[in-house]
Chains A and B, each alone.
Chain A
Amino acid sequence: MTKMMPSLVMIAVTAALVGCNQSEAQDPKVTINKNPYPSTYQVLPSTKTIIKNATVLTGTGEKLENADVIMMDGKINAVGKNLAADDATIVDAQGKWVTPGIIDVHSHLGVYPSPNAESHNDGNEMTNPVTAEVWAEHSVWPQDPGFNRAREGGVTTMQILPGSANLIGGRGVTLKNVPAQSMQAMKFPDAPYGLKMACGENPKSLYGGRSELPMTRMGNMAGYRQAFIEATEYKRAWDKYETDYAAGKNAAAPKRDLTLDTLKGVLEGEILIHNHCYKAEEMVMMIDLGKEFNYHSGTFHHAIEAYKIADTLAENGNCAAMWPDWWGFKLEAYDMVLENVAIVDSVKNSCAVVHSDSPVTIQRLNQESAKIMHNANANGFNYTEEQAISWITVNAAKSLGIADKTGSLSEGKNADVVIWNVNPFSVYAKAEQVFIDGAKVFDHQDTRYQAQSDFLLGQE
């Protein structure tokens, strides 16, 4: 009900200001609840904790040796040397490494869960090229065993996206990786929604195969533009309603449209674009598409050719989310270079992200980053762990619009923390303990903190 308050106040105010001049009484104001499936996330039980004597990668570009991290009331309380914390649980991390919780901006956990089965194919509403009306959160199966495996790999936050069959595939949702019975109990409080869009081969081959638009890349562009023309008109209609109502007129609210609600959210900057887009020329067009309709083109996912336009991406404030080495499965994925992330990252004001798009590699985003760092360093770059960790922490948080909350070990941020047995950029690295909001959610030595899906319980 808290979301209703502003509109009631608004009615009262407008009535007081202009009510007496109106010949017609106003109908109750129509407002759209923007958060009908609100987060019910609760922090797991936690104690004040100090992690002692670790090598700490802060996510903000620093590497601190023999450093301590204090977590209190769910937040990072302090990071530094020789810290003291009264009554805190002490974790001796001598020889171990500590990083922010890992964030994956591109996951289909829960919507394409394990086991892979007809009954579980809930990630792609392949019935119309524009399905901005669907929300990935409505498909999430919280019992997907993949969530637990990802947590064991240090993943504390993930964006669950619809698939890429459609030009506009629907809303993505950002989740905290805690075991739960409902999506709402995992939902990251106050994280913005994402909107999945897709360039290139997937939409045009699916709908082209049905002799429908889009059959071509120009058809793709026409499809996005048509959708945003409608969204612009829809927004204008709602804005007019707001203005007229505020002026005391008894205006009729526009007919509500679930598809256009989401696109209007994009135009208003409340919903962030996450655009499956491999090729340089397509990304550059998608940047202009955003300018044409006055929204920001957001993060390019998969971005195989981001290295060809690294400057353009940085100039326009676009993040690029990339794999280290996937290639060759489609022609648009042909021009992969192993140093893609490093080339993008090397430009000033860049935002390079490493993502998984996979229930397998989400478990080892640290290793995915290690591949990139070491390949780049063998070919003329000079990356360090404290720089590379940003690809799966703070830059990912930036892409999701939650960098003010998580993604780095700085005072006041959510205490999303991973303790690794060794340098996380080693193939032998394993997450030993994982914390979300200061609460331990995984411990490799304590079965009490090793969650198991309902699905796997009692299987012989």
Chain B
Amino acid sequence: MKNMTQSLLALSLASTLFGASGLAFADSFAITHATVHTATAQGVLNNAVVVVKDGVITSVGSATDATLDVDKVIDAKGGIVTPGFIGSMNILGLVEVNAVADSSDAWDKKADITFDPSFGYNPKASSIAFTRKGGITRNIVTSSGGEDIHSGQTFVVDLSGSWDSIKATNTAVFVRLGAKHEGSRAAAIQQLIAQLEKGQKSLAKASKDKKGNNDVSELEEADEIVKSLLSGQKPLIVAADRASDILAILKLKQRFNVNLVLVGAADAVLISDQIAKAKVPVIVDAMRNLPESFDSLHNDLSNAGKLHAAGVKVILSNMGDSHNVYNLRYSAGNAVANGMDYNAAMAALTVNVADTFNIDSGSIMVGKPADIVIWNGDPFEFSSHVVKMYIDGKEQSTQSRHDKLRERYTTPSDLPRGYTK
């Protein structure tokens, strides 16, 4: 056990800092001596102070202009402060163990546009505390879908693990197009077009009919959802990889004026100008660089950076993941290593996600909820870790059952390990 000499000290420190009941809550606090990545037009502020009152950021600025009338001052000691990262398009909290059918609620054969997976969310899933290790404070959860093109609707959570951590439900409609294992991709997009056409017709009819209140009452839930897409109030997230599919989907945006978001989009680099011009955000997995299928022959580690450079709003995601969403920050690091602008990568984990999904978070800005992470170094690096983390100004633990297991098996004991708790 030559490399474990410091473990006992570290463990006692860890329990002091993170003991379940030991998390400090102050009505107001200030973080000082921080390099703050604001993810706003303010950019990066050196030796800055962030003040939080009642869970909201009330001041962001230099040390001199902050009046520290607060309950507590937290010295970041030159560390880096970022907004809490925002995960997206994953199934975190819908699954405890994927292969344990009873604990797996991300997929349903009959899922359609009305499917609301938030009813299956468990804020106590062991993966949620683990995900906080990655500095992720909020998340957009989606289902894995079913047999239909529709995977239901997304919902937004904070990662506090508290009973009230679902913040919004039915926030966006998620459709999967492109390669189909059975049948033709053509039929899939035709289904979507027919749905939007039907919705458009019924809206036109309703507006002609001045009396028209019985129409609305007769609308089925699915029609109501389509209506919210056509009004542009609810984002339509479409997964597709091949450029020909993406172009067909861009035409839908033009025709139906939907608030389109692309996800996957392996070929987006081939048509980045059209995507930028259409102002369509793109959610990508920066680690894709294999031709996984004939739809994704142009996957490359440089794609995220290239899309940003072409003027596309990029969101980084580890799409579909259930347990290792915490790796998101390393994806950002790899994107930077392969040409993406650092601040753009930071935005792709924070403000871009918040803007696209109408989440009140994602930047260090006066009036925003205090979703804040203090890091001991570059948050994209392996050598850095979360020092402190806040959601709505409340300090969060980054300890999970994984830490308990490690402690059990590295703490010397005369008794069997089963007695070490």
A: residues with CB less than 8 A from B are: 114-117, 145-146, 149, 201, 307-308, 325-331, 334-339, 342-343, 345-348, 359-360, 363-364, 367, 370-371, 373-376, 378-383, 387, 425-430, 455-456, 459
Contacts and interface: CB of A to CB of B under 8 A. Distances in A.
Given A380-B410, A427-B380, A115 B402 contact: no
A329 B91 CA distance: 12
B330 A381 contact: no
B88 to A, nearest CB: 19
Nearest to A117: B293
B381 A426 contact: yes
For the complex of A and B, the 5 pairs showing the least CB-CB separation, nearest first, are A380-B7, A427-B333, A328-B323, A380-B10, A370-B382
Interface stretch (B93-101, B201-209, B215-223): B93-101
Contacts of B417: 308
Contact of B291 (A115, A335, A375): A115
Interface in B92-119: 95-100
A339 B3 contact: no
A146 B409 CA distance: 37
B97 A331 contact: yes
Interface of B: 1-11, 14, 95-100, 126-127, 287, 289-294, 296-298, 322-324, 326-327, 330, 333-334, 336-337, 380-385, 402-403, 405-406, 409-410, 417
Given A327-B324, A328-B95, A367-B382, 16 more contacts: A145-B290, A149-B290, A307-B406, A327-B323, A328-B98, A345-B3, A346-B2, A346-B4, A371-B382, A376-B3, A378-B385, A379-B10, A381-B6, A425-B382, A426-B382, A456-B291
Given A328-B322, A339-B406, A367-B382, A145 B6 contact: no
A330 B99 CA distance: 5
Contacts of A343: 406, 409-410
B297 A456 contact: yes
B382 A374 contact: yes
Nearest to B288: A360
B20 to A, nearest CB: 18
A101 to B, nearest CB: 20
A334 B11 CA distance: 22
Contacts of A459: 291, 297-298
Nearest to A455: B291
B3 A383 contact: yes
Nearest to B294: A115
A339 B411 CA distance: 14
Contacts of B5: 380, 382
Contacts of B291: 114-115, 145, 455-456, 459
29 contacts: A115-B292, A116-B292, A145-B290, A149-B289, A308-B409, A325-B327, A327-B402, A328-B95, A328-B98, A328-B323, A329-B99, A331-B97, A336-B402, A337-B402, A337-B406, A338-B402, A346-B2, A359-B290, A360-B287, A371-B330, A371-B382, A378-B385, A379-B403, A380-B8, A381-B3, A381-B6, A382-B3, A426-B382, A427-B381
Q: Most chain-A Cβ atoms within 10 A of its Cβ — which of B1, B5, B14, B298?
A: B1
A209 to B, nearest CB: 12
Given A327-B323, A360-B290, A429 B2 contact: no
Contact of B337 (A325, A345, A359, A428): A428
Contacts of B287: 360
Contact of B3 (A307, A325, A342): A342
Nearest to A348: B2
A428 B336 contact: yes
A339 B3 CA distance: 12
A429 B337 contact: yes
A114 B296 CA distance: 10
B98 to A, nearest CB: 5
A331 B99 contact: yes
A280 B287 CA distance: 32
**Of B3, B293, B384, most A-chain CB atoms within 10 Å:** B3
Contacts of B127: 328
A450 B246 CA distance: 30
Contacts of A149: 289-290
Contacts of A427: 330, 333-334, 336-337, 380-382
Contacts of B8: 380
B100 A326 contact: no
A114 B3 contact: no
B95 A381 contact: no
B301 to A, nearest CB: 9
Contact of A346 (B3, B298, B381): B3
A428 B333 contact: yes
A154 B98 CA distance: 32
B330 A367 contact: yes
Nearest to B376: A378
A376 B5 CA distance: 12
Contacts of B98: 328-330
A267 B380 CA distance: 48
Contacts of B126: 328
A425 B381 CA distance: 9
A380 B292 contact: no
Query: Which of B127, B297, B402, B406 has the most chain A CB within a 10 Å cutoff?
Result: B406
A235 to B, nearest CB: 37
Residue among B100, B297, B410 having the largest count of chain A Cβ atoms under 10 Å: B410
A383 B382 CA distance: 13
B97 A328 contact: yes
A459 B336 CA distance: 27
B5 to A, nearest CB: 7
Contacts of A455: 291
Contacts of A342: 3
Contacts of A382: 3, 5-6
Contacts of B296: 115
Nearest to A308: B409
B346 to A, nearest CB: 14
Contacts of A359: 290
Nearest to B401: A335
A380 B99 CA distance: 33
Contacts of A326: 323-324
A80 to B, nearest CB: 27
Contacts of A339: 406, 410
Nearest to A328: B323
A387 B2 CA distance: 12
Contact of B385 (A346, A374, A383, A430): A374
A114 B402 contact: no
